[in-house]
Amino acid sequence: MLETEFKLSVHASFMVPDLTELDIPFEMVEGPVLHLRAVYHDTEDLRLARSGVTLRYRSGENEAGWTLKLPVEDGEVSVRDEHWFQGAQATVPEGARDLTIAWVRTAGLVPVARLTTRRKVWFVRDEEGVVVAEIDDDEVSILEGRRVVARFREVELESKGLGIQPLTEIRDLLVDAGAVRAEPIPKAVRALGPRATADADIPRAPSPDPKAPAAQAIKAALIHGVERVIVHDAPTRLGDMEGVHQMRVGTRRLRSDLRTFSSMVEPKWAESLGDELAWLTDLLGSVRDLDVLQERLRDTAGGLEASFSEMFESLAARHAGARARLDDGLRSDRYKQLLELVIQAARDPVLTEVAATPAQDVLPSLVRGAWQKLAKKGRALDRDDADDAFHAARIQAKRVRYAAEAVAAALGKDGKEATNFARLVADVQDTLGTHQDTSVARQVFADFAASHSTDGSLSFDIGRLYERQAFEAEVMKERFFKTWDRLDRKKNLRWMGT
């Protein structure tokens, strides 16, 4: 569930105003005063807090339990993905622990802050009596043992379905009454102090410069890849298809970056890291490929899906097996160690002396080498070539695209041309990707037909679906040659020195 809220600092005499001053027809209903007790958990070095994540056990309202909040958007309005878990205070629930692994990794979770809060609540209702927002006036005490060591007061304005614009109008009314806009910092972070606002484990990507060492571009590329993996870890665990896709893209980009910058990274270090990334990529790929395949087959089957129940059941079973292996992998010590490795790689990659060369002098040639391999494949393709030939071109196109995107920011005025080149390569890659999807789908239909050759009616339906995929494959071939012609032009290649 997404939590959207504003946080406001208030003085001791502040009073929450009535909303009748607004043109929007809201009604405020005061709720009972709550006395909340919360224990926040984190690693000893506050890995969660430093990354904008909070995990707490809280009692005092409705049902006691655990709440995990994951960052979604930064800015004046705080948007976080909130998850609630049942469980006793003594043990962090397994589900909550799993969703923190990307940040916690090999460290342990321990209590790091204890807070009590006296909360006055106002429910904001619309004309139909539906609660659309909540205003909480919190007096917070920070405890060490039983002793109160600090206090602060804040007001939270949380949407319960209300849009940002009317929520902002309520915020502005609170400000007019004397509240002060504040950074959306969790209570635990305020309690923990400066250590909780220190830099996260993944450093900020440097701003590459053409005259700066190529090492900066390498670090920036690795940081972006690692961020992609970390951010999409939780959605992947929750079964989100796009999360799996983006996490897989992250691992693929990291492997591609190690390949692109191979002359500037220490070979044994890169090979070892690449092997571990390949393991994770394969786990993610097994799930992602079946997600795409099942979706395509359902779209193709249309009203005939019931006739192919056996085929879909078989694919569902394969998907369940792949999903189970991925889940086991994401809980494994091997995965936690891999996370430590990639974060260390982002912070301090093991580079060679060549990485000290100015970016503008060395980076274009790295893409040029990958492009020459793609050009050889793309220029040789013919409409009658086997699917494998088009698939091989797709794999190389992906490498070229990732390489161009990895270096573009460090090339100054040539960066725009590199970015445009990468977009054109992406068009080729996407077209060939769809073509490959049709190839896989056709093979599934062919295998299913072979195992049901005596069922004439079913064989006829399979033939219809096979032909739909075959037709789309021809369309994609035609599109490929058009997108290739737009890409393979001298004006698109000059920035590489080609």
Q: Are 109 and 41 in contact (CB under 8 A)?
A: yes
Decide if pLDDT at 449 tops 90.
no
Q: What is the pTM of this model?
A: 0.91
What ranges do the domains of the chain cover? 2-197, 214-496
- 450 confidence band (pLDDT: 50, 70, 90): confident
Question: Is 371 in contact with 363 (CB distance < 8 Å)?
Answer: no
The mean per-residue pLDDT over the stretch 462-474 comes to 93
Query: Quick one: pLDDT band at residue 458, thresholds 50, 70, 90?
Result: confident
Per-residue pLDDT reduced to its tens digit, 65-77: 999 999 886 667 7
How would you label 160-173 residue by residue, b for 16+ Cβ within 10 Å and e otherwise? eebeeebbebbbeb
Given pLDDT bands bounded at 50, 70 and 90, which one contains residue 153? very high
Q: Say if residue 455's pLDDT is above 90.
A: no
Provide the terminal-to-terminal Cα distance of the chain, rounded to the nearest Å: 51
Which phi and psi (to 5°) does residue 183 adopt? Answer: -65, 145
20-39 pLDDT, tens per residue? Answer: 778 778 889 999 999 999 99
Mean pLDDT of the chain: 94
The pLDDT value recorded for residue 75 is 66
**Who contacts 428 (Cβ-Cβ below 8 Å, separation ≥6)?**
378, 393, 394, 397, 480, 483, 484, 487
Q: What is the mean pLDDT of residues 367-376?
A: 96
CATH architecture of 2-197: Beta Barrel (2.40)
Length of the chain: 498
Residue 86 · residue 65 · CB < 8 Å: yes
469 pLDDT above the threshold of 90: yes
Across the range 183-189, mean pLDDT stands at 88
Q: Looking at the domain that runs over 214-496, which CATH code has it been given?
A: 1.40.20.10
Which residues have a Cβ under 8 Å from the Cβ of 213 and sit 6 or more positions away?
A: 355, 356, 357, 358, 359
Mean per-residue pLDDT, 244-267: 97
**Greater pLDDT, 95 or 2:** 95
CA distance 122 to 402: 51
Looking at residue 74, its pLDDT comes to 63
Helix, strand and coil percent figures for the chain, each rounded to 5: 60, 20, 20
Q: What percent of the chain has pLDDT over 70?
A: 99
